[in-house]
Every structure is written in C-alpha cells, then in structure tokens.
Structure 1
Amino acid sequence: MVGMMGAGKTAVGRALALRLGVPFLDSDHEIEEAANMTIPEIFARDGEAFFRQKESQVIERLLDEARGVLSTGGGAFLSEANRKMISEKGVSVWLNADLEVLWNRVRHRDHRPLLRTADPHATLKALYEARVPLYAKADLVVHSDAQTSIEGMVDRVLEGLETRPDVLEPVTGA
C-alpha cells in the first residue's frame, strides 16, 4: 500500500491482510521497533535522509521475508529504487485520496513530522502536488474517498488485484 499520509494505507492494509489471511506489515512500525524511537524522534535526531535510508532497508527486508500486505510510509514510494523493488517483489497499490480528504484525516494529529510547520495545510498541499505524479506510477490505483468504508476499500483493492494475472493466485479464495 502506497500513498499520502491519511490515505488509509494502514487501516485498509490491515483489513485486506485479514481478509486474505496473510500477515500485515507496516514499514513505519518496523522502523520504530528497530530504532526504539518514534518516527518524529528519528527525524529530529537523525534527519529525513537517514530515515529514508533506513526505510528502504526495512522495506527490502520485509518484502524478502514475508508474503503479505505491506503498508509503507507516505514518502517511501518517492524513491525510484523503492518503487522498483516493490513492483518487482509485489504489487504497488496507490490509495489515491484527494487533498481535502487527506487534510480532514490528518489535521488533528500531531505525529506527522512533515506537517510540523507554520501552515500544515499548505505543507500538505505542496507534498501532495509533488508526490501525486510519483504515486501515479503504482501498479494499481484505487480511489479513496471519505464515503467508502474500510471494507469497501478492501473490495476495491481486491477488484484491482483481480485484474493482475501475476497476483490472481494469492488473491484466490479471498
């Protein structure tokens, strides 16, 4: 699962994994566990470049070790190496939510280090505009809106996956 913060990668990913009977993996959670720090603490102490390097290492390890649903951090798919790795070892699914849906989901949370600015909405908008062209390179695009339930989103993802001959086998029986 790839996409902006607030797109629903974790919620939809968890429900999708449950429906498929496979493990749910979250690269941000794995990074925090390995570092024994939160992502905002890692950003503050070591900077974004360090975090992105560790993020790539964790994503590679998770893709090699387990077959399941992986939720990546919002910036993970910006790296060409990560995009290639994810597509070679799995299927990238972009949960494509519009800016206002994302803002409504993240505006009351203070754990997003990239939004700790004087104008978080403007920051989110700039991130959104910069990232959308890269997210559009995902193997599948699934529209995420404020009206569709998590289970409805899982249905949309599964419908998309069924169009992929390379993943029909793992999805069968869902």
Structure 2
Amino acid sequence: MIISLVGMPGGGKSTVGKQLGRQLGVRFVDSDHEIELRIGEPIRSFFEREGEAPFREIEAQVLADILDSEGELVLGTGGGSVLREENRALLHGSSTVLYLRSTPEDLFRRLRHDTQRPLLQVRDPLAKLRELYAQRDPLYRRCAHYVLETGRPSVHGLVNMALMQLELAGLIDSARVAATVGAQRAD
C-alpha cells in the first residue's frame, strides 16, 4: 500500500502525511526532502540557480524511485509534481492518491510569512496562489483517487478523514483503522 498526497504548496501534505504514516504504522517519505538529498542543497537554491525545468526532471526521477520502492509508505509530493503527465500517471497507477484541496485564500493565510517556497517569492503571493490553483487544481483532480477538502479542519481531523476514506474504499482493514483513529502510537 502506497498512499500519495498531492495538493498546493502549504496544503498540509507533509504535516498530514507524517501523522497518517504514524497512524498506519508505515514510513512517511517527503519527495522534496528526497530531492534535496539527491541534489545536495535546498530546493530553493537549486531552483534559483538552475530554473524550473531541471528541477522538474530531478523531481520526476525521485518520484519514480520512491514509487518503485518496496513496502508500505505515505508519500508527500511537491506541489508542482502533477505538472508532468508522466508524474500524474505514475502517481495514479502506483499509489492511492489523496488530493488535499485548499483554496488560495486558505493557503495565503497559512503561507503569508513563508520565505522557503520559491514560486511564492513574488510581489503578490495571493495572486500567484490563485494563478497556481487555476492551473493545478484540474491536474490534482485528474491524478487523485479521492479529494479531501482541507478548509479549516485540524491536522487530526484531516488524518481521520483520510483514514475513513481509505477504509470506505476497502484499502485499509477496518480493524487497523479502528485501532488507530485518534490514537497516538507509543514509540
């Protein structure tokens, strides 16, 4: 079982993914972190120096490597990973994809002080988020098996929504979910 989370920057993929992995007792992999390990520097530095096209090439290779790995995992993807058709097809065909859908306005509230996201280092970040959303929302929907509206639920609420959706779809044994929803693992 591989569960992939897609969505806009700041949509909660890493935060929800870590908690979802913990609840399911599987590892969480953040594709952006794996990219940074591969390139040996922060994505922002690479992006500024090399540009978007070389970054997207590396991103596609890293996604393919992660999805080809063995074992169960939860994958948090980069916000732009769905821009390539090959990535959308790979994610959809190799995992169960959950789209964490957030409005541009919700994202702006969460990200207005964030200086680490290269695509948002512009004069009007809300306008940029609206532009990205208009471009990417249809791609996330095309890639996703399920859409979860993030709105204002807590991380705990979103994790429970994801677990319930996966259980209803028959992808998780109900005994596994019943034992983990709302519980914390004793590590």
TM range (shorter): over 0.9
Task: Note the C-alpha offset of 1:26.
Answer: 0.3
Aligned equivalent of 2:150: 144
The match for 1:59 is 63
Look up the equivalent residue of 2:80 and give its one-letter code: G
Correspondence 1:121-160 to 2 at 5 A:
121-137=126-142, 138-146=144-152, 148-160=153-165
Separation in 1, partners of 2:79, 2:98: 12
* 1:20-50 per-position Cα deviation (integer Å, ceiling 9, x unaligned): 0000000000001111111111111211011
Deviations 1:53-93 (A, max 9, x none): 11011011111114200000000022211111111111111
Q: How far off is 1:51 after superposition? A: 0.6
TM-score, normalised with respect to structure 2 = 0.87
TM-score by length of 1: 0.93
2:46 paired with 1:42: yes
* Equivalences, count: 171
In structure 1, distance between residues paired with 2:157 and 2:115: 28
State the secondary structure of the residue aligned to 2:51: helix
SS at match of 2:75: strand
Q: Give distance in 1, aligned partners of 2:33 and 2:103.
A: 25
Q: Which whole-Å CA distance do the structure 2 matches of 1:124 and 1:168 have between them?
A: 34
Amino acid paired to 2:107: L
Q: SS of the residue aligned with 1:92?
A: strand
2:26 matches 1:22: yes
Which moves more between the two structures, 37-46 or 156-165? 156-165
Task: Output the CA distance in 2 between the equivalents of 1:163 and 1:131.
Answer: 27
- RMSD across aligned C-alpha pairs, in angstroms? 1.3
Distance 1:172 1:60 in 2: 31
SS in structure 2 of the partner of residue 168 of structure 1 = coil
Gaps of 5+ in 2: 178-187
Give the 3-state SS of the residue equivalent to 2:68 in structure 1: helix
Unaligned segments of structure 1, at least 5 residues: none
Seq. identity, %: 42
Displaced runs of 4 or more, over 6 A: none
Q: How big is the shift at 1:163?
A: 3.1
Number of the residue aligned with 1:95? 100
